[in-house]
């Protein structure tokens, strides 16, 4: 039996899982918070190493033959010619580059030009926007930048002993804004456009390639970004869609090609297997449920769910458009939420609770339809996040999404995905696995939900939602039609 490890260095902590190479069974695990504030926008990368060391303490990695690294995405680690930091890393939650992102759109000739170049339109979290921000606001630092890395790249480089060769993978590269998901190549001209001069970029490895070995002889796989690692850990395939329920929401699919989208609604990532991960985001998901809970005076989302289940599908005609913070999909940045269908018989607490759940899920179904309209197959929907466990979500989701819904057991899927990649690289290095076929690990324990006889009911509820949306925001999806 071989043993591999996967580590996930998120914005707030490091998780490490040690897994059996044949089955993927988690044998042991470690955890440590980062010694920085989770909401910090500038971070000394040494904090990630300190957290990693603490998480791996107590002999956690004893017997491990290979390690995979996943890490927070959209961070920028700028280095000078000697490989030293030019300034603290800029991480993904830094919103200062919004104007810089818009500036880049204009410099290349518009959204269509960017969609054709790299499959996405510049957004403030992306490294390319951060480079432009540095060029405008920190020109002295920008002039010193000789190489550009992301958190995942930097961690792998440190584990390997800071060799001359620097690497990344196609998944992490696809989030930079200067790598083409369609051609699989860097666009150094876009780096120069943003920064004002060229900078060295890491070598992009294939999914099963190894980055090298540590000074102690431990094999390090290519690694990837958190999103790609989590998808790999879940074992999603073509026909699978992952819906994440956080304060905001996201809908991510596995697809055979990159989707260039000049509207900017679809972000086209590459995955950790050679496929693609188009993603559509919404600004309002669980925040709409929490707002409704506060309005109704219930103490928890569990209570809100119980209240909603006392209503019936369609919430007695109530429709909630959950655009409480504006909305990204559809593109309605200045919109507010709307409650429609108020009648004497519908003005009950349970109907409003039901409308909140249906509104949140219908909004995510809108995002899913953006992908469907581009030819993305939706066979199964994986539902992630604590809210996925709520009874009202599970009662409504299959019929509103029009697909089988899978609710995986909570686990460290990004770390598991990184470990699975390590097992793949190790197997290829030892000649026991094919470079084109990842190891077949046992799937995560999950609850499977079918719409059954409720499919027609869910379709009617969705039609009621769409009719209300189109009446109030008739041009909401004009760009994507």
pLDDT in tens, 298-350: 999 999 999 999 999 999 999 999 999 999 999 999 999 999 999 999 999 99
The domain boundary residue, chosen from 193, 222, 251? 222
Instruction: Count other Cβ atoms within 10 Å, centred on residue 309.
Output: 17
Do both 26 and 151 map to the same domain?
A: yes
- 438 in a domain, yes or no? no
- 358 in a domain, yes or no? yes
Q: In this model, does residue 93 exceed pLDDT 90?
A: no
pLDDT in tens, 233-280: 999 999 999 999 999 999 999 999 999 888 889 988 999 999 999 999
Confidence class for position 37, pLDDT limits 50, 70, 90: confident
Say what the pLDDT of residue 187 is: 97
CATH number of the domain residue 18 falls in: 3.30.420.40
- 359 in a domain, yes or no? yes
Do both 39 and 86 map to the same domain?
A: yes
Say what the pLDDT of residue 447 is: 94
Tokens 């324990």 sit at which residue? 445
Instruction: Tell me the pTM.
Output: 0.92
- 424 in a domain, yes or no? no
The domain boundary residue, chosen from 201, 222, 243? 222
Do both 100 and 28 map to the same domain?
A: yes
Q: Please compute the mean of the pLDDT values over residues 213-235 and round it to a whole number.
A: 95
Do both 262 and 385 map to the same domain?
A: yes
Do both 154 and 286 map to the same domain?
A: no
pLDDT in tens, 355-374: 999 999 999 999 999 999 99
Say what the pLDDT of residue 251 is: 97
Do both 262 and 127 map to the same domain?
A: no
Confidence class for position 182, pLDDT limits 50, 70, 90: confident
Do both 79 and 184 map to the same domain?
A: yes
Angstrom CA distances, 179 to 123, 163, 185, 251, stand at: 14, 23, 6, 22
- 204 in a domain, yes or no? yes
Q: In this model, does residue 480 exceed pLDDT 50?
A: no
pLDDT in tens, 370-412: 999 999 999 999 999 999 999 999 999 999 999 999 999 999 9
Q: Which residues contact 453 (CB under 8 A, 6 or more apart)?
A: none
Do both 186 and 243 map to the same domain?
A: no
- 294 in a domain, yes or no? yes
CA 295 to chain CA centroid, Å, is 30
- 429 in a domain, yes or no? no
Q: In this model, does residue 479 exceed pLDDT 80?
A: no
Say what the pLDDT of residue 38 is: 63
User: How many domains are there within the chain?
Assistant: 2
The domain boundary residue, chosen from 200, 222, 244? 222
- Domain coverage including residue 30: 3-222
Do both 144 and 291 map to the same domain?
A: no
Q: Which residues contact 246 (CB under 8 A, 6 or more apart)?
A: 285, 286, 385
Q: In this model, does residue 478 exceed pLDDT 80?
A: no
Do both 185 and 272 map to the same domain?
A: no
- 422 in a domain, yes or no? no
Q: In this model, does residue 65 exceed pLDDT 50?
A: yes
Q: What is the mean pLDDT of the chain?
A: 95
Say what the pLDDT of residue 36 is: 77
Do both 137 and 205 map to the same domain?
A: yes
Say what the pLDDT of residue 1 is: 65
Instruction: Count other Cβ atoms within 10 Å, centred on residue 189.
Output: 12
* Cα–Cα dist 209/231, whole Å: 18
Q: Which residues contact 46 (CB under 8 A, 6 or more apart)?
A: none
Confidence class for position 295, pLDDT limits 50, 70, 90: very high
Q: In this model, does residue 443 exceed pLDDT 80?
A: no
Say what the pLDDT of residue 481 is: 34
Q: Please compute the mean of the pLDDT values over residues 120-136 and round it to a whole number.
A: 95
Q: Please compute the mean of the pLDDT values over residues 218-237 and round it to a whole number.
A: 96
Do both 9 and 103 map to the same domain?
A: yes
Q: Please compute the mean of the pLDDT values over residues 427-456 and round it to a whole number.
A: 91
Q: Which carries the bigger pLDDT value, residue 262 or residue 186? A: 186
């Amino acid at each position: 039996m071989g043993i591999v490890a996967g580590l996930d260095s998120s914005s707030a902590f490091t998780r490490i899982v040690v897994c059996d190479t044949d089955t993927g069974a988690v044998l042991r695990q470690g955890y440590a918070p980062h010694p920085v504030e989770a909401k910090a926008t500038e971070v000394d990368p040494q904090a990630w190493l300190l957290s990693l060391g603490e998480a791996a303490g107590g002999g956690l990695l004893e017997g491990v033959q290979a390690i995979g690294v996943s890490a927070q995405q959209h961070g920028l680690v700028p280095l000078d010619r000697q490989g030293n930091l030019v300034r603290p890393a800029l991480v993904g939650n830094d919103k200062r580059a919004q104007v810089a992102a818009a500036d880049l759109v204009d410099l290349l000739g518009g959204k269509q030009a960017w969609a054709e170049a790299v499959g996405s339109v510049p957004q403030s979290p992306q490294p390319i926007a951060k480079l432009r921000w540095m060029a405008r606001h920190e020109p002295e630092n920008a002039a010193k930048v000789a190489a550009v890395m992301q958190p995942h790249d930097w961690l792998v480089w440190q584990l390997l002993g800071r060799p001359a060769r620097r690497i990344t993978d196609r998944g992490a590269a696809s989030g930079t804004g200067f790598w083409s998901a369609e051609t699989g190549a860097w666009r150094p001209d876009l780096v120069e456009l943003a920064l004002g001069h060229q900078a060295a970029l890491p070598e992009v490895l294939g999914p099963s390639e190894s980055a090298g070995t540590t000074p102690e002889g431990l094999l390090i796989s290519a690694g990837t970004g958190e999103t790609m690692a989590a998808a790999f850990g879940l074992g999603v395939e073509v026909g699978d869609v992952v819906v994440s329920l956080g304060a905001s929401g996201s809908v991510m699919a596995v697809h055979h090609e990159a989707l260039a989208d000049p509207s900017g609604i679809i972000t086209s990532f590459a995955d950790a297997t050679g496929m693609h991960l188009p993603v559509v985001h919404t600004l309002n998901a669980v925040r709409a449920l929490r707002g409704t809970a506060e309005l109704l005076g219930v103490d928890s989302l569990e209570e809100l769910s119980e209240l909603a289940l006392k209503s019936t599908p369609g919430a007695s005609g109530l429709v909630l458009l959950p655009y409480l913070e504006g909305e990204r999909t559809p593109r309605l940045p200045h919109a507010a939420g709307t409650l429609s269908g108020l009648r004497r018989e519908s003005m009950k607490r349970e109907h409003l609770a039901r409308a909140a759940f249906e509104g949140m899920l219908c909004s995510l179904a809108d995002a899913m339809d953006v992908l469907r309209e581009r030819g993305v197959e939706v066979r199964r929907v994986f539902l992630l996040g604590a809210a996925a466990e709520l009874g009202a979500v599970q009662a409504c989701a299959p019929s509103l999404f029009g697909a089988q819904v899978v609710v995986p057991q909570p686990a460290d899927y990004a770390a598991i995905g990184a470990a699975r990649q390590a097992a793949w690289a190790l197997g290829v290095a030892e000649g026991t696995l094919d470079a084109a076929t990842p190891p077949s690990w046992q799937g995560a324990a999950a609850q499977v939900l079918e719409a059954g006889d409720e499919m027609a009911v869910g379709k009617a509820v969705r039609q009621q939602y769409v009719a209300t949306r189109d009446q109030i925001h008739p041009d909401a999806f004009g760009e994507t039609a």
